[in-house]
Amino acid sequence: MRIEERSVRRACERAEEHLLARRRDDGGWNEEMVWCPALTACAVLAHHACGRPLDARDRDAVLRYFDRWQLPDGSWGLHPASPGYLYATTLCYVAARLAGRPPDHPAAARARAWVLRRGGPLWAPTWAKAWLAVANLYDWDGLPALPPELFLLPSWLPFHPSRFYCHTRMIYLALSVLYALRFRMPEDPLVRDLRAELYPQGWEGVRFADHRTTVTPGDVYVEPTGLLHAAYGALRAGERATTAALRRRAVARLLEEIRYEQRQSGQAALSPVSGLLNAVALHAADPDGPGAAEALEGMRAWRWDDETEGLRWAGSLSHTWDTAFAIQALCASPQAARHADVLRRASRALLSYRVTEDPPDPERHWRSVGRGGWCFTDGRHGWPVSDCAAEALDALLAARRWTGEPLPRTVRAEAVRFVLSRRDASGGFSSYEERRGSPALGRLNPSEMFDDCMIDRAYVECTGSCVRALIAATRDGDLEETADAHTAVRRAVRYLRAEQQPDGMWRPAWGVYGTYAAFHALSALRAAGVPAGDPAVAAGVRWLTERQRDDGGWGEDWRSCLERRSVPAAEASATQTAWALLALDAAGVPPEHRAVLRGVGWLLEHQQPDGAWPLGQPSGVFMNTSLLHYKLYPVVFPLWALGRAARAAGR
C-alpha cells in the first residue's frame, strides 16, 4: 500500500485555500485563542473599579459572550472543556450584574444559586477574592498577606519575587499594591445589592479573616503546602511590624515597576491578566492621573468582538506563533512554489514582529535580553519567548527557498544569540526568561488553581524548537555563534534523552499532550543528527504507534494535563493526528508504514468542506489547568502533515 498522492494533493489545496483566506492585512496570521471567561469578567470589574465602565454597546456584547459560555447548570468553567469553577462563576456573575443584568434574570439566578451552593465567595480562590475585594464585595483582611515590602528584600534571596515566573511576578506586583492600599470601589446601591445576593447570611457578620485560605475543593489543583502556610504567617507577622514610611517606599517601588511595564509594553502589558490589575493599581495610587486610562486603553489590544461570540478578552494574541507555523506548513506543501508571493509577504510580516531592542535598565527591572527575539504576539509588548523566536527563525529560513529573499545575517545572528540566552543549566531551554529560581519555589505556589507557575524552566517543546532553529541558522557556519550553538545543541540532546519517560513518552507543558511533545522532541533529535535507529527515537516511535486509535487517528483527552499522563480521548483529533504524523515523519518512519497510511487516511476522511478540520478538544494548555483552543491549529498542522506525506509519496 502507498499514499494516494493525488488525493493528498487535493486535500492540501483545499486546506491552503482555507489558510490563505484567513490572512491578516499585513500578510501574517493571528487567529483567536479561546480562553477562560473569567478574564473578560476581570475586564468588566477593572473598568468599573477605575470609574470608567464599559459603554452600553460593550456591556451588551459582554453579556452575549457570557451567555455563549455559561454551562447548563449556571456555572462557567476555567476553559472551553471545563466543568464549573467557583472562581470563574463568581467573577462572571458579578461582572454580568455590573454589565446591567438584573438579579432575577434566569442566567443570573442560575449562576447565583450555583455559587451559593458551594459556599459563596468565602470559598473562592485567592485571585477571585482579590478581585472581589477590589469590587468592595470582600474584605482585604480575608486574603493571605501580600506585603509589597517583599519586593524590597535583597534580590539574591532564593525566594525574592524577581525569581518568579514573569506572569506570576507581574500579577503579584499589582496585587501587592492593591493590598497595601486596601483599594476598593465606592459603596453604592449596586454594591450593596451584590453583597446581599452573595452573602445571604448578612454582610456585616462575615468573619473574612477566618477564610484567608479556604478554597472549594473543586477549584483546587495544587494544595497549599505547610511551607506556604508558614510563609503566610511570617508575612503577616512582618506586616504588623512594618512602618508607614517603609510601606510608602515599597508601594512607590512597585508602582515604578508597573509604570515601567506599561511604558515598555506600549500599554499592552505582558498579558491582560496582569495589565488589568496594573490599571486598577495605577488608579488606586492616583485616581486623577492618566495611568489607569492609558492602561485600560492598552487593554483593547487583547479584545475580540463579533456578533456570534460577543465581546471578550483573550489571554494572549498569536501573531508570531500562527504566522511561523503557517509559513512552515505552506513550505511543506507540494504547491509551495505557487505561494511564493504569499510566503514573501508573510515573511515580511514576521520580520516586522521581531524585537529589536533590549529593555532599558534590565537589572533594576528584573528583565532579560530581548533583542533578536520574537514575542508570542506581534512584538508590541516586548516580552520575547524562546520557542516563538525559534519557530519564527525556522519559518523564515524555510521560506527562503521559495521567496528568493535572503535572511539578513544580522537577523540570524541576533536570533541565535537570543535563543542561546534562554539556555537552562539542565541543557534544555526555558521560555520568557532564563531560569532564576529553584524548583523548590513550587512549594510556595499561592495560586491554588494552577501549577508550574513559580519559575521559568526548561521545557521539552521549547527545547525542541530551539534545537531545530539553531541547527538551521548555523548550517552555513558563517556566524560567530556557530560553535556555541552546536555545543548548546549537544547539551539539549542530552536533556531530551533525560526527559524521555520509560515508556517512550515526553511530558509537555504547552500542549495536549504526549503527541505534542513527541512532535517537538523527535523533530529536534533527528535534526541534531540522532539516527532513526537510536533507542530514544525508536522508543518515541513505539509510544506513538501504540497509541494510534482503531480508526487511524490519534486523540488524547485534555485531562492528560491534569493527570500528567496520556489519557485517551473519546474521539481522535485532527491536530493531534497531524502532530503524530509529523513526529513519525521526522523520526524517519517511511510513508508506506501502516501507521502513517492510516493516519493520513483519517485526515483525508475528516477534512471539512471548507478545507479545515473540526476544532475538537482544546489543544493548548497554560500552567497545567488552563486549557485553550488555538483556532488555526486544525488547519495548519494537518496541512503540514499532509504536505510532508505528499512529498514523501512523490519521491
Query: Which residues are identified as catalytic?
Result: 387
Other beta carbons within 10 Å of 382: 20
Grid cell 497509541 — which residue?
Answer: 547
Q: What span, in angstroms and rounded, lies between the C-alpha atoms of 203 and 182? A: 18
The alpha carbon of 545 is separated from its chain's Cα centroid by a whole number of angstroms, namely: 29
Cis peptide before 513 (omega within 30 of 0): yes
Q: Which one, of 594, 551, 590, lies nearest residue 574 by Cα?
A: 551
SS3 9: helix
The one-letter amino acid code at 89 reads T
Q: Which one, of 444, 462, 436, 299, lies nearest residue 367 by Cα?
A: 436
Q: What span, in angstroms and rounded, lies between the C-alpha atoms of 116 and 275? A: 30
| β-strand partners of 511 | 620
Q: Which one, of 64, 69, 60, lies nearest residue 89 by Cα?
A: 69
**In this structure, what is the dihedral angle of CA atoms 497, 502, 508, 511, given to the nearest 10 degrees?**
130
The one-letter amino acid code at 468 reads R
Contact by Cβ (8 Å): 431, 443: no
Q: What span, in angstroms and rounded, lies between the C-alpha atoms of 350 and 373? A: 11
Q: Which one, of 371, 353, 354, lies nearest residue 362 by Cα?
A: 371
Helix (H) or strand (E) holding 627: strand 626-630
Contact by Cβ (8 Å): 324, 350: yes
Q: What span, in angstroms and rounded, lies between the C-alpha atoms of 472 and 390? A: 10
